Amino acid sequence: MKVLIIGAGGREDAIMWKVKQNPKVEKVYKMTSNDIFEIRDFALNEKIDLTIVGSEELLVKGIVDEFKKVDLRIFGPNKEAAMLEGSKDFAKEFMKKHGISTASYESFTEKEKADEYIKKNGKYPIVIKASGLAAGKGVIIAENEKEALKAISDIMEDKAFGTAGDIVVIEEFLKGVEMSILSITDTNIILPFKSAKDHKKISEGEKGLNTGGMGVISPNPYHNEWVEKEFVEKILNPTLEGLKKDNMDFAGIIFFGLMITEDGVYLLEYNMRMGDPETQCLLPLMESDLVSVIDAALDKKLSETEIKWKDEHSCCVVAASLGYPEKYEKGKEITGIENVSEDTQVFLAGVKVENGKYYTNGGRVLNVVAQAKTREEAIEKVYRELEKISFEGKYLRKDIGKIY
């Protein structure tokens, strides 16, 4: 069996590591391209048996639909279902229509109407979102009217996020702790993965600029029976019913971005692909074979499948280049990867390999992931192993997995 993975970050490295554990897999290809037809032709020429797409852009552009036209097997949502990530307005409407627990909101296509709403609303903080894909940057939490009006002007007038800002979603601010739950669906059933907690800010104590994610702990320390019940009854089950009622038919991942508040669990967003770095943290906990689970979803047999998980905690810490997410240097030699203990995973993200040597080549350079019986042990182990890896300007957060 030949598998093609689209993308070249830490998430795709983790998917490759897991896919390779299936004895039927002879070859795994990785490809980065924004051209659906180039990827399709490669898959046809190489007779790829299964394609897995890492990030959202190609899904939203309709890669799954194009692959299906030529009978290529691909895992992920079609263009319509990918809109649940590609358009926040579409996603919020879906949530509202199907009674899914989410923050109250209004959508606007005209700046004047949005301004008017803000001037009348007067409750702060308030959340202002560009509806389209904005690489995780299109959400602004405004603390007062001035900031809110500026955000609207930046998005709708100055087009800070291009056409992603043609529609603006203005949303009630929810106070709580965030939780990521990935899941797999064949649109007959949704099987959730273990819960996780991403740490998105660059600095310790959740301070500073937003990043693509600096580390993840699983299970999420705030996950408990009440949270699980809230999630399943108010979010997971109605999402599945909604997919069925709206005749959405696909096999893919649904990543629920959740907020646990004092009065319940709310859905902030859907991502229709695996999370980065959630995937790096979660796949080592998955006992089941990933290719078999994906095959079951594609064959609409998920209801006959059980995903087995290790009864352990996993901690993923990102080693980044100093200066990320702003300016940073590249090309620093990375040493010591070979000294990392065999039961700890190193997934490469922004790394270039030349003559058998590793060099930094991006902001988030690599992920080290460790598992143990307790959260504390997993955290201790991952930081111990990370010390073995060196490169100039190595930056990491020391508080991944910590509860505040």
Which positions lie near ligand GLY, rule CB under 6 A? Answer: 198, 213, 271, 275-276, 278
Of 250, 297, 294, which Cα lies nearest the Cα of 78? 250
Query: For residues 366 and 349, is the Cβ–Cβ distance under 8 A?
Result: yes
Which of the choices ligand GLY, ligand AMP, none does residue 89 contact, using the CB cut-off of 5 to 8 A by kind? none
124 touching ligand AMP, by CB under 6 A: no
Q: Round to whole Å and give the CA distance between 87 and 59.
A: 12
Nearer residue to ligand GLY within complex by CB, 56 or 89: 56
Q: Round to whole Å and give the CA distance between 263 and 152.
A: 29
From candidates 173, 222, 359, 383, binder to ligand AMP by CB under 6 A: 173
From candidates 1, 31, 139, 298, binder to ligand AMP by CB under 6 A: 139
184 touching ligand AMP, by CB under 6 A: no
257 touching ligand AMP, by CB under 6 A: yes
Q: Round to whole Å and give the CA distance between 150 and 162.
A: 16
Peptide bond just before 77 cis, omega within 30 deg: no
Going from the C-alpha of 215 to that of each of 193, 200, 203, 314, the distances in angstroms are 18, 8, 11, 11
Nearer residue to ligand GLY within complex by CB, 52 or 340: 52
Least distance to ligand AMP, CB of residue 236, Å: 17
Least distance to ligand GLY, CB of residue 389, Å: 22
Query: For residues 125 and 143, is the Cβ–Cβ distance under 8 A?
Result: yes
User: Hey, what amino acid is at 191?
Assistant: L
Q: Round to whole Å and give the CA distance between 253 and 190.
A: 9
Residue labelled with tokens 């009864």: 311
From candidates 171, 276, 289, 295, binder to ligand AMP by CB under 6 A: 171
The pair of structure tokens assigned to 145 is 């009217």
Which of the choices ligand AMP, ligand GLY, none does residue 12 contact, using the CB cut-off of 5 to 8 A by kind? none
From candidates 85, 178, 186, 385, binder to ligand AMP by CB under 6 A: 178
User: Hey, what amino acid is at 103?
Assistant: A
127 touching ligand AMP, by CB under 6 A: yes
From candidates 114, 202, 265, 268, binder to ligand AMP by CB under 6 A: 268
- Subset of 64-103 contacting ligand AMP (CB under 6 A): 103
Which of the choices ligand GLY, ligand AMP, none does residue 275 contact, using the CB cut-off of 5 to 8 A by kind? ligand GLY
Q: How are beta strands 126-130 and 252-261 bridged, if at all?
A: unpaired
Q: Round to whole Å and give the CA distance between 74 and 365.
A: 28
Which of the choices ligand AMP, ligand GLY, none does residue 171 contact, using the CB cut-off of 5 to 8 A by kind? ligand AMP
Residue labelled with tokens 């809230």: 230
269 touching ligand AMP, by CB under 6 A: yes
Q: Round to whole Å and give the CA distance between 279 and 276.
A: 6
Nearer residue to ligand GLY within complex by CB, 137 or 229: 137
The pair of structure tokens assigned to 120 is 């009348």
Least distance to ligand AMP, CB of residue 101, Å: 12
Contacting positions for ligand AMP (CB under 6 A):
103, 127, 129, 139, 171-174, 178, 257, 268-269
